[in-house]
Amino acid sequence: MSIDLPIIWAALIAIAVLAYVLLDGFDLGIGILFAVEHEDEDRDVLVNSVAPVWDGNETWLILGGGGLFAVFPLAYATIMPAFYPTIIAMLLALVFRGVAFEFRFRTTTRRGRAWWDRAFSVGSTVAAFCQGLTLGGLLHGVNVVNRQYVGGWFDWLSPFSVLCGAAVVIGFTLLGSCWLIWRTEGALQDRARRRARALGIATLALIVVVSIWTPFLEQPFMDRWFGWPGIVLTSPVPILMALLAWGFFRAIERKQEIAPFLYAQGWFVLCYAGLGISIWPLMVPPSISIWEAAAPPASQLFLLVGAVVLIPTILAYTAYAYWLFRGKVKPGMHYH
């Protein structure tokens, strides 16, 4: 039996991107929530709840980008130019947001603090929105001829991609709110719970609209979702989604603390699976498949040797770090 290297790598990259979404999603959401949390004390709690882990979360994005370059160079070489504006805006937003973690504690003036708080908030929002735009644009398809992107500047811009952008922003804010239900207490937790309910409804509505819209973008998506035998694989997705939605709202009503976060993460996993079902076996819709995008076996095998050792190790470390930082983050720590 021969090993299908491109499939293994596609799975690994998919895991890296999913890890990124699940891990960085809520901490971008925390940044977005700065727009409605104005008190210094609350903001400190928000930042401190994610400070120990954010940078590890973001490294999955480097792994996604670097990994794509390493093992699917054609995908990397066509997606990046196609989404030039959204990728660069996302990177710059992440730079702002990343340093704001440090800098907001290092400034000595109120104005400085306000400025870096804004950088944190706006940076997080823009990064999330750009990720959604890129996703929407990718589903719309990338115009590639002769191994090069041949589309225009704003091919990624469409009502669908803007909707995806909004969905990601709202969805990440939901994750951020659920994180706060888990990690905070008192008035802050109450506010987070109220917001999570509203954001849950909004996110669910957006997921439904995006899911219904997606099959109409490309005929293959339509065939996959509603044709036989694809429907055997696809029909459980909406059913599971309904179950998770029911679980989420019940957990909110019962004032459970960890469950809402896990349910909301479950929504994202399902959406991600749905996305995978739509575009499989393509790497860059509508024309480049996983195998066409793949680097030669020698390249993929060379990196795989390291990846099979290091990726599980990294996952284990990450799990351990979260374990160490478990528990409520309390207000009242004033640093400066």
Partner 1 sequence: MALIDAVFLARLQFAFTVGFHIVLPSFSIGLASYLMVLEALWLRTGRQVYLDVFQYWLKIFAIGFAMGVVSGLVMSYQFGTNWGVFADKAGPVIGPLMGYEVLTAFFLEAGFLGVMLFGLGRVGRGLHFLATCLVAFGTLLSAFWILSVNSWMQTPAGYTMTQDGRFLPADWWAVIFNPSFPYRLPHMVIASYLSVAFVVGAVGAWHLLRDRQNQAARLMFSMAMWMAVIVAPIQMMVGDQHGLNTLEHQPAKVAALEGDFDRVPGTPLILFGWPNMQQARTDYAVEIPHLGALILTHSWNGAVPGLKEFPREDWPYSPVVFWAFRIMVGLGVLMTLMGLYGLFRRWQGRLYSSPWLLRGMVAMAPAGFIAVLAGWTTTEVGRQPFTVYGMLRTADSISPIALPGVAVSLAAFAVVYFIVFGAGLVFLLRLMAKPPTTGESGPPPQVPVRTAGITPAPVMSIQPGAGE
Q: What are phi and psi of 4, to 5 degrees?
A: -90, 90
Find the binding residues for partner 1 in span 174-203 (CB under 8 A).
none
Smallest distance, Å, CB 189 to partner 1?
13
Question: Most distant CA pair in the chain: distance in Å?
Answer: 65
* Smaller CB separation from partner 1, 219 or 313: 313
Q: Which of 102, 132, 49, 5 lies closest to 333, judged by CA?
A: 49
Using the contact rule CB under 8 A, the part of the chain among 40-48, 202-210, 225-233, 244-252 near partner 1 is 40-48
Find the binding residues for partner 1 in span 109-148 (CB under 8 A).
147-148
Using the contact rule CB under 8 A, the part of the chain among 25-33, 88-96, 165-173, 230-238 near partner 1 is 88-96
Contact with partner 1 (CB under 8 A): which of 5, 18, 45, 264? 45
How far apart are the C-alpha atoms of 259 and 108, rounded to whole Å? 39
Strand positions, DSSP E, the chain = 144-145, 148-149, 282-284, 288-289
Do residues 46 and 37 touch, judged by C-beta distance below 8 A? yes
Find the binding residues for partner 1 in span 195-254 (CB under 8 A).
none
CA 236 to chain centre: 23
* Smaller CB separation from partner 1, 71 or 133: 71
Report the C-alpha dihedral over residues 62, 64, 66, 71, rounded to 10 degrees. 170
Contact with partner 1 (CB under 8 A): which of 25, 31, 67, 285? 67
167 makes contact with partner 1 (CB under 8 A): no
48 makes contact with partner 1 (CB under 8 A): yes
* Smaller CB separation from partner 1, 67 or 200: 67
